[in-house]
Amino acid sequence: MSLAGKTAIVTGAASGIGLATARRLAVAGASVAIWDLNEEGAQAAAAALVGEGRRAIASRVDVSKRADADAAVKAAREQLGPVGILVNNAGMSAFTPFMEIGEELWDRIMTVNLKSLLVCTQAVLPDMLEAKWGRVINVSSSSAQTGAATMVHYAASKGGVIGFTKALAQELAATGITVNNVPPGFVDTPMLREQLKDRVDMIAAASPMKRPGRPEDMAAAIAFLASEEAGYITGHTLSVNGGRYSS
């Protein structure tokens, strides 16, 4: 599977699933623009790829702000070439009992997890439409498939990501652009470790595979959906969750 000659943008790529995805796409030959609010982390990730002989740049981007997305797409286009692959991975989660969810937190999660797809996808679509080829891969969540106590705000936003994927896939199906989503299961990332502290291994032990997912597991699925081989797949939810949810 080769992505040589393609330019990819991966949001939230300074760590975790986004970083693993950026690396996987770069190894497959793509030039990669790493977007993250954590500018230092994004720069370090890009520098590591460049040090391995890959083509990569980094941009500090708030994915919910159109001006940020437009400026970063312009930089990617000028330095790497027209954008053909977009991985909407950036997001935020929280564990909050339903009656304690305030409007400010609700709006922030919806803005980061869902509005960002509107902003970032609209920013890259002109390149894809002109090329008559494109791949949009959205990172949703198995929490939207199963439900998750104390995560109503997060699950609702990620359910919106799945709906967004299906609807846009129908709209773009005849253009050569595919739109799919990957809902991760319980993935061992720095954000998860920060939120759950020492409970990660205990929760993983109760799962069907008895281990947490790795960011590389998600990256492999995303890279496949970005490839030529996945050209007849669109509107699809490719669950990567170690058996947590079957569809």
Query: How confident is the model over 194-217, as pLDDT tens digits?
Result: 665 666 666 666 677 667 778 999
Which amino acid appears at position 169 of this protein?
A
Q: How confident is the model at residue 82 (pLDDT cuts 50, 70, 90)?
A: very high
User: Which residue is associated with the tokens 């970083």?
Assistant: 19
- pLDDT score, position 185: 78
d(CA 49, CA 26): 8
More confident residue, 245 or 152: 152
Which amino acid appears at position 229 of this protein?
E
Predicted structure pTM score: 0.94
Tell me which architecture the domain covering 7-185+214-230 has in CATH: 3-Layer(aba) Sandwich (3.40)
Cα 205 to the chain's mean position, in Å? Answer: 26
- Look at residues 222, 182, 228, 177 and name the one whose alpha carbon lies nearest to residue 3: 228
Provide the residue count of the chain.
Answer: 247
Where in the sequence numbering do the catalytic residues fall?
154
Q: Residue 242: pLDDT above 90?
A: no
- pLDDT score, position 192: 62
Using CB atoms within 10 A of its CB, is residue 229 exposed (0-12), middle (13-18) or buried (19+)? exposed
pLDDT in tens, 100-140: 999 999 999 999 999 999 999 999 999 999 999 999 999 99
pLDDT in tens, 48-73: 999 999 999 999 999 999 999 999 99
- pLDDT score, position 224: 98
d(CA 57, CA 70): 15
Q: How confident is the model at residue 190 (pLDDT cuts 50, 70, 90)?
A: confident
Which amino acid appears at position 200 of this protein?
V
Contact 35, 42 (CB under 8 A): yes
State the chain's mean pLDDT as an integer.
93
d(CA 133, CA 141): 26
What is the SS3 assignment for 74-104? Answer: HHHHHHHCCCCEEEECCCCCCCCCHHHCCHH
Going edge to edge, which strands form the sheet with 31-36?
56-60, 31-36, 7-11, 85-88, 134-139, 177-182
Q: Average the pLDDT over each of 73-82, 196-205, 217-226 and give the range with the smallest value.
A: 196-205
pLDDT in tens, 135-162: 999 999 999 999 999 999 999 999 999 9
Domain map (residue ranges) of the chain = 7-185+214-230
Q: For residue 225, what are its two tokens?
A: 């959906």
